[in-house]
Amino acid sequence: MTAARLARPLRAVITAALVLVLALCPVWGGDGARSTLIVFAYYAALAQMWNLLAGYAGLVTFGQQLFIGLGGYTLAVGCERIGLGVWSAFALAAVVTGALAVPVGALTFRLKGGYFAVGSWVIAEIFRLSFGNWSYVSNASGMFIRPARSVDPWLLYYVAIGLLLGMVALVVATLRSRAGLGLMAIRDAEDAAAGLGVHVWRVKLLAFVIAAAGTGLIAALITVQTPFIQPNAAFSIEWSAQVSFMAVVGGLGTVEGPIIGAAIYVVLQHRLGGSGAIHLIVVGAVSVIVMLVAPRGIAGLVRDRWGWTLFPVARRPPVKADRAP
């Protein structure tokens, strides 16, 4: 069975065209387009990281907001309390979240499946409550990041796009590496993978750390863009709700899936007005429907139907097509 694949040069052209359009935004778009695209970019990047874990490593987590909050606060503290420049604080955010991912992963890996998902949520909660009670970061009222206001908005835009492209490149690179093969082997059959000599624990932790650092970096961007941070928003479970929606609807286990999902989400947000109750009801309902009816998401459907894929790295997606009888 040979799937009709988009020829390599065609894929390169399409990708280059998309990047070009994004790069030329100051030419064709104004401030509105810029803000929307920044939001799209960071959502897509976050969804990439979640997808790396859930779609490839088999680690479904509802606790990524831990690293969003941590990354954001590292930036805030870096700028406001330690006196770092915005971009140095960026780098610090990635370092701090990546480092913290090690003990958090080591602890939560003791839980399996759904318990890992909720366990990571619990840890995020611990941080949410603790930060809310910590005077150094102004408790629950939050912090304002003053140096962020002097960052040129178009610079921020290019950083956002750059981050998205960087995350995509990072995911593709990881998956094409040996660790990446190990990852997918683990996702498909953990015991078998272990039997083949894959260092399951180490590979999972590596993926977890990469995703955490990436998430931390993106969170720093989000914080600079806002430029305000507050524990209940930064460590909110809503991040997981949004990101899981994007990855699932877009297509788990594919590289273009999270991007598609983020685009859909942003459009949805515009139509249904921010994060009101109706918006969330639609998000929840659509997640359920897609998961039941088209479990491989949009990218998966396209792949199954026409064999098209922009980044041919994915092997079997994490949801089995045929159910056990």
Partner 1 sequence: MTMQLIETLLNGLLLGGLYGLIGLGLSINFGTMRVVYLAHGDLIVLAAYFLVVALVPLGIPALVAAAIVVPVLFAVGWALQRFIVGWSLGRGILPPLIVTFGISMVLQNVLLLFATADARTLQTSLASSGVRLGSITVPTVRIIDFAVGVGCLGLLLAILGRTALGRALRATSDDADTARLMGVDPRRMYAVAAGISAATGAVGGVLLSATRTFYPTTGSEALLVAFEVVVVGGLGSLTGTFLGGILLAMAQLLAALWPGPSYSQVAAHVVVLLVLVFRPQGLLPRTAP
Q: Is 277 in the site for partner 1 (CB under 8 A)?
A: yes
Q: Is 291 in the site for partner 1 (CB under 8 A)?
A: yes
Query: Alpha-carbon dihedral of residues 265, 268, 272, 275, nearest 10 degrees?
Result: 0
Burial of 134 (0-12, 13-18, 19+ CB in 10 A): middle
> Which C-beta is closer to partner 1: that of 245 or that of 308?
245
Of 175, 197, 173, residue with least CA distance to 184: 175
Q: Which stretch binds partner 1 (CB under 8 A): 66-74, 127-135, 152-160, 196-204?
A: 127-135
Q: Please, are residues 18 and 147 in contact by the beta-carbon 8 Å criterion? A: no
Q: Is 281 in the site for partner 1 (CB under 8 A)?
A: yes
> Which C-beta is closer to partner 1: that of 127 or that of 311?
127
What would the x/- binding string for partner 1 be over residues 236 to 275, using CB under 8 A? -x---x--x---x---x-----------------------
Among 34, 36, 125, 264, contact with partner 1 (rule: CB under 8 A): 125
Q: Please state, as a whole number, how many other Cβ atoms lie within 10 Å of the Cβ of residue 152.
A: 8
Q: Is 318 in the site for partner 1 (CB under 8 A)?
A: yes
What lies within 8 Å, CB to CB, of 171 at 6+ separation is: 48, 51, 52, 255
Sign of CA dihedral 201, 204, 210, 211: negative
Q: Is 6 in the site for partner 1 (CB under 8 A)?
A: no
Q: What are phi and psi of 229, to 5 degrees?
A: -135, 145
Among 33, 107, 155, 192, contact with partner 1 (rule: CB under 8 A): 107
> Minimum distance between the CB of residue 125 and partner 1, rounded to whole angstroms?
6
Instruction: Reduce the DSSP state of residue 229 to 3 states and report it.
Output: strand
Among 147, 162, 166, 295, contact with partner 1 (rule: CB under 8 A): 295
Burial of 278 (0-12, 13-18, 19+ CB in 10 A): exposed
Tokens found for residue 325: 């009888």
> Minimum distance between the CB of residue 282 and partner 1, rounded to whole angstroms?
9
Q: Is 232 in the site for partner 1 (CB under 8 A)?
A: no
| Contact set with partner 1 (CB under 8 A) | 54, 58, 60, 62, 107-108, 110-111, 113-115, 117-119, 121-123, 125-126, 129-130, 133, 237, 241, 244, 248, 252, 277-278, 280-281, 283-288, 291-292, 295, 318-320, 323-324
